[in-house]
Structures are given as structure tokens and as C-alpha cells.
Amino acid sequence: MDDWQNVIRKRDFPMIARGNCRGKSTVYLDNAATTQCPRPVLWAMEDYWSLRHANVHRGVYCLSARATEALEETRQLTADFLRVSRDEIVFTSGATDSANMLAEAFALGELKRGDLVLATEMEHNSNLLPWLEACRRTGAVLELVKIREDGELDMEDLYRRLEKKPRLLAVTAVSNVLGTVNPLSQIVSSAHSAGAAVAVDAAQAMRCDLPELKSPDCDFLFFSGHKLMGPTGIGVLYAKAEWIDRLPPVRYGGGMLRELRIPEPEYESGVGKFEAGTLNLSGIAGLGAALEYLQVVGRRRIAAYERELLRHAEERLSSIDGLRILGAPKRRSGVLSFLLPPLQAYDAAVLLDKKGFALRSGRHCADALHARLGISGSVRLSPAFYNTGEELDRFGDALEQIAALSRTVGAGKHG
Ligand code: PLP
């Protein structure tokens, strides 16, 4: 374990350092689902609730002004994190909410019957179903770009479909099952040449320190705070300035109205038009603290360490007899999914839980991907920078024991 990692583990992540749940040993390896909040994030939220709680924008009094400043500070921090303008950052309740808002706005303002929208076979349902529904509502058509056996996006298939001049391509930066890091620059420039806008799901990508996500070329990008050491219930939708101007609001209410004219009200022009009602202010405080925390620990250091952890895990798991790792992409980040036949994924996860390892089984909300691979589920390992190589070694040993046991039972059944 590196020194910095030892320090942050003990100081900032009590649940990880304690390593047990109801007295039972637990190594948390489900970070693709959600990450733990470090203490500074918890403090920021406590500070907000105990000393700063007031509604924003609407008050002339000091507390309200201060709450508004705090909100705008987090907007600036988020913009700095992505190296974009603060006028392009909309707060939502999470990646799913961001994608739904975007698809609704697209359906309302952009799509018409016969238009084509592309998503990919590796999308999380959150970047697929909103587009499917937008298409159903408008009479547009949704097609899925294929993936290859190795878990890479099939670029030839993408180029072929781009020839049909789609209006938008919805694509994930990193697959939440295969860990594939998609070649975003190439994808975005090809889509733009074909006249398509690009919506990037960065939910799994924000800790990877990808160069493509700094001053991104895409039109839209979204993520959730809780996969980035922040709290649940807060997310971000980045939209390029021209789209902020062009897209219509899809939520209506307080804070987004400029002038009430019936029947044609005038709405705010900037990001405010997408932020109707009271935002999750403590979540925004937590998100701001999480972004600062990642900067202080070091985004590059975190990404490099997590890459090394995953490489270590892949090497260890590859040596287990009968274990099949899904995909072999050139660049893998964050997650590694596998099958351990004859065990079902669910059973493998239950046995791993009994041995003290918390990780997820199922389709991971990537139904199109599992259908494409012809499997009903997988087990997903997703370490974060507070995990250690030693934990992954123990995990590998536990898997080996489970694999051996299932072979014995399988042989007994057939013998
Ligand atoms: N997109 C991807 C790639 C994800 O992994 C997830 C969550 O697992 C989401 C979107 C949805 O995130 P949330 O549930 O925070 O809205």
C-alpha cells in the first residue's frame, strides 16, 4: 500500500478502514455502483445543514446570499473540473436525470418523425431508455451501434450508421460492465462530421482522468456525484453554450421564469432555465467538496493507482481456472466483469459476500450488452483508490476457493 493511500484510507473513509458490516469482514468492491464519501464531503454537508441552510436566489438576506454563492462556487468547481464554462453546467439529481432531461428537451425541440438517433450496445439503460422514449414520442428511430467480441465499439458499424446522418449519438465514455474506454475524440469528430450531436455518459469515467473529458468536444456530457466520492441525489449535465441557448426547458416552475406572459411565458436564457425548483443544495455542497477532495489527493495519482489495481486484478483473475473475464478492450478502466461457470453470477456474488467481499451481480442495467453477449448476468468487480492490492489478492484467493468448490460440486452432480 502506498503511503498516501494508507493515510487517506484511515483518515477519510471510516467504513473502508473498519472493513466490516454488522461485525462481518467486508471489502467494498462495488465502486461502479457507488463510491464512499470521504470525511470532508460529510463535513461539507453537515456544515451546510447546520450553519448555512437557506434557499438560494430568492432571498435578499445574508444566509440566502451565502447559499447562492456556495451553489455558484460548486458550479465553478465543476466547470473547472471539466475545463468548460460555468454557464454550461446544469445541476440535476444524477446521471439518469441528466439523460432524461436532455432526451426530453431533444424530443421537444429537435427530433421529428423519421429522424435517426444512435446509441450503442454497451450503454447503461440510463443512456438508452430516455432516447428510446424520445424516439417513440416523436416518431424518430433508435439504432444501436454494435460492439465487437473483444468489448470494443465496432467503429466500422458506427461509420456505416453515421452515413445515415443521425441527429444524435448517445455513447458512454467508459462501459459500466466491460470497462471499455471508448475512443471519444475519434467518435465525436466522426459524429460531428456526419452532422450528429454527441451525448456522452461520463458516469463511470470521471475518476479516470481522461484527456478527452477535459474541454470535451462533445455537445453534452453527464455524470452523478455519488460515483465520484460525492453524495447521492446530485448530478451534472454539461451542455455546450449553443445548446444551452437552443434547447427548450423541460421542467417548469420557480426560478426559471423571466416573465409570466400567458399563454407564452418567457423563460430564463442560461442554465437557470433547466433548474426549476429548489435544487439539492446539501448535495451540491457535497459535490463541491468531493471535487476539491479529488483535486487535493490528485486526479492523476488516483487514476494511475486505480489503473494499476485493475491491471493487478485482471492478472490475478486470469489465472483462475474456468473464470471468464468479459471483453478484452485495449483500454480498460474501473470495472472488470466475469463469469465463473457453472455458477450463476448471483450465486457467485452470494458466496463472495459470505467470504466478505461486497460486489454486484446481474445485468448492471446494461441489458443490451448482456443480450449481445448472450448471457443473463455477470459478476462485476470495481475497486477504487481506497482499495489495495492485498485486498484484491485475498479476493482472488476467495474466488479460487469458490471455483474449486463449484467444480467439485459440478463433478459430483454429473458423476
Ligand atoms: N450511466 C452509467 C454508465 C452508469 O454506470 C450509471 C450507474 O450505474 C448510470 C449511468 C446511472 O447513474 P445514476 O443511477 O447515478 O443516475
User: 100: which 3 cell numbers?
Assistant: 432524461
Q: Which residues contact 159 (CB under 8 A, 6 or more apart)?
A: 190
Cell digits for 256?
426559471
pLDDT score of 349 more than 60: yes
The 8 Å CB, 24+ separation contacts for 348-353 are 348/379, 348/402, 349/379, 351/402, 351/405, 352/379, 352/395, 352/398, 352/399, 352/402
Q: Is the CB of 360 under 6 A from ligand 1?
A: no
Residues 371-385 have a mean pLDDT of 97
**Cβ of residue 363 lying under 6 Å from some atom of ligand 1:** no
For 170-196, write each residue's pLDDT tens digit.
999 999 999 999 999 999 999 999 999
According to the model, what pLDDT value does residue 1 have?
Answer: 66
pTM: 0.96
Residue 210: exposure state from Cβ atoms within 10 A (0-12, 13-18, ≥19): buried
Give the separation between CA 102 and CA 175, rounded to whole angstroms: 20
Confidence of residue 21 (pLDDT cuts 50, 70, 90): confident
Position 60 scores a pLDDT of 86
- In the block, residue with C-alpha cell 449535465: 237
Q: What is the distance in A from the centroid of ligand 1 to the CA of 74? A: 21
Whether 409 has a pLDDT exceeding 70, the answer reads: yes
Please write the tens of the pLDDT for every residue from 241-264: 999 999 999 999 999 999 999 999
The backbone torsions φ and ψ at residue 42, rounded to the nearest 5 degrees and listed phi first, read -65, -40
Evaluate: CB of 77 within 6 angstroms of ligand 1.
Answer: no
Give the separation between CA 119 and CA 264, rounded to whole angstroms: 34
- Cis status of the peptide bond prior to 342, with omega within 30 of 0: yes
Over residues 284-302, the pLDDT tens digits come to: 999 999 999 999 999 999 9
With a cut of 70, say whether residue 161 has pLDDT above it: yes
Average pLDDT, integer, range 217-236: 98
Dihedral sign for Cα atoms in the order 71, 40, 4, 357:
negative
* Tens-digit pLDDT profile for residues 28-47: 999 999 999 999 999 999 99
Q: Determine the distance separating the centroid of ligand 1 and the alpha carbon of 93, expressed in angstroms.
A: 12
- Output the average pLDDT for the chain: 95
Q: How far apart are CA 125 and CA 172, in angstroms?
A: 11
Phi (first) and psi of residue 267, to 5 degrees:
-100, 160
Which of 97, 184, 204 has most ligand 1 atoms within 8 Å of CB, for mutation? 204
pLDDT at 18: 84
Position in ligand 1 atom list of the atom nearest CA 98: 16
Q: Probe ligand 1: pick from 227, 363, 364, 369, max atoms within 8 Å of CB?
A: 227
Radius of gyration of the chain from its Cα atoms, rounded to whole angstroms: 22
Whether the CB of 337 sits within 6 Å of ligand 1: no
204 lines ligand 1 (CB under 6 A): yes
111-160 tens-digit pLDDT: 999 999 999 999 999 999 999 999 999 999 999 999 999 999 999 999 99
For the Cβ of 124 lying below 6 angstroms from any atom of ligand 1, the answer is: yes
Q: Are 36 and 66 in contact (CB under 8 A)?
A: no
Q: Ligand 1: distance of its center to the CA of 199 in Å?
A: 14
**What confidence score (pLDDT) does residue 223 get?**
98
User: Band of the pLDDT at 410, cuts 50, 70, 90?
Assistant: low
Does the active-site annotation cover 62?
A: no
- Among the four given CATH numbers 3.90.650.10, 3.90.1150.10, 3.40.50.2300, 2.60.40.10, the one describing domain 3-30+298-414: 3.90.1150.10
- Residue 368 DSSP SS3: helix
Q: Which residues contact 178 (CB under 8 A, 6 or more apart)?
A: 122, 151, 326, 327, 329, 332, 335, 337, 369
Grid coordinates 460525492 are at which residue?
A: 230
The CATH number of domain 41-295 is 3.30.300.30: no
Query: Cell numbers at residue 353, please?
Result: 459476500
> What DSSP line would sit under 278-342, residue for residue?
---HHHHHHHHHHHHHHHHH-HHHHHHHHHHHHHHHHHHHHTSTT-EES---SSB-S-EEEE-TT
Domain with CATH 3.90.1150.10 in the chain: 3-30+298-414
pLDDT band at 414 (very low <50, low <70, confident <90, very high): very low
For ligand 1, atom 5, name the residue with the nearest CA: 176
Higher pLDDT, 65 or 244: 244
Cis peptide leading into residue 263 (ω within 30°)? yes
For residue 413, pLDDT beyond 60: no
Q: Are 20 and 26 in contact (CB under 8 A)?
A: yes
Confidence class for position 58, pLDDT limits 50, 70, 90:
confident
Choice from 121, 176, 213, 363 to test ligand 1 binding pocket (greatest atom count within 8 A of CB): 176
Which residues of the chain does CATH 3.40.640.10 include? 41-295
Query: What is d(CA 199, CA 97) in angstroms, rounded to the nearest whole number?
Result: 14
176 Cβ closer than 6 Å to some ligand 1 atom: yes
| Closest residue to atom 12 of ligand 1, CA basis | 95
Question: What percent of the chain has pLDDT above 70?
Answer: 98
Percentage of the chain surpassing pLDDT 90? 90
Task: Judge contact between 233 and 283, C-beta under 8 A.
Answer: yes
> Is 411 a residue whose pLDDT tops 70?
no
